[in-house]
Amino acid sequence: MAQKAQHAILRFAKHKAGPAGALEAHHERTKEQYASNPDIDTSKSKDNFHIIRPAQRYRREIDSRIKAAGCRTRKDSTMFVDTLITASPEFFTGRSKQEVQAYFTEAVAFMENKVGRGNIFSAVVHMDEKTPHLHLCFTPITEDGRLSAKEILGNRAQLSQWQDEFHAHMKKAFPVLKRGESALVTKRRHIPTWLFKQSVSLVRQQRTIEKAVSEIGVMNAGKKRDEILEMVGPYFARLERHLGQMQKFQATIDYLTQENRGLKAQVNSEKSIHKQMEVLALQKENEQLRRFVQSIPPEVRQALKEQQRQQKWDRGHQR
């Protein structure tokens, strides 16, 4: 059997300031549990390590750098970029932690040269998921003091050049690597991994709730109903947020689903088929989740929404 090609992987996600706190919680592992990402093994989180450790909270890092540079910002400005760097799973097989660290240290050196060391405020390697990977966050400030992700990252042709340069840099230290695909993380072209994981997590929790509902009997109806409402409340809020997030990627999902109709004529692309099958599974799971929402009686949905409004009101008045 032919050995699978091993690729160096580089992806970018552009963000306004809003998601900084949530991304910090994920990258820096500040939460005790990660319900939306079942792949995280918290018993291995002690093996995670920083190449660049943030000096303060992400939002403060972003704001202080932009202020120090005197950048003008707009409502739609990209305030920071989350860079994902990893490699094909096969690349990491059998490698020591020192070798893994050397790979990511080399990748950070590449990024420092491309975007400037002063723009990078965090570079942390996660060893507690299936494949080791690096999250590197930077403010896209140009040499002449402008905030411009467009200038630093460029258009599709320039992004392809980014991939060429990244591959050439990494191949010097790791000759086994082959040139991978260019992939800017955008709503139209890339569905983020966390959305797939979040969908799986919600479907699992849905089954738990349905099992609890099926166990309601005459004798325990009151107690079970209270238990289910307590369980369904936070779940329903997560589910509504997830279905809203899904809408942003619906065009991509529809495109890949239509593309799947021609799979038999495209058997030459194993990677393309795998991606399409993943998207089909995602679509099926979310149709199931939507049906589940519709199956909840209107009066229960209304009660849950009132419960959420009351909880928000209580939190607001506790501050």
Q: Do residues 284 and 200 lie in contact, with contact meaning Cβ atoms separated by under 8 Å?
A: no
pLDDT in tens, 38-52: 677 778 889 899 999
pLDDT grade for 3, boundaries at 50, 70 and 90: low
Block residue for tokens 């094909």 = 88
Checking if the pLDDT of 292 tops 50, the result is yes
Mean pLDDT of all residues belonging to the chain: 79
pLDDT in tens, 109-136: 999 999 999 999 999 999 988 889 999 9
Average pLDDT score over residue span 133-150: 94
- Tell me how crowded residue 202 is: count the other CB atoms within 10 A of its CB: 21
Checking if the pLDDT of 98 tops 90, the result is yes
User: Is-above-0.75 flag for pTM?
Assistant: no
User: Which position has the higher pLDDT, 193 or 115?
Assistant: 115
d(CA 64, CA 55): 11
Average pLDDT score over residue span 248-259: 61
Q: Give, in order, the Cα–Cα distances in Å from 87 to each of 50, 212, 217, 225, 290.
A: 18, 42, 52, 48, 35
Checking if the pLDDT of 222 tops 50, the result is yes
Which pLDDT does position 273 carry in this prediction? 54
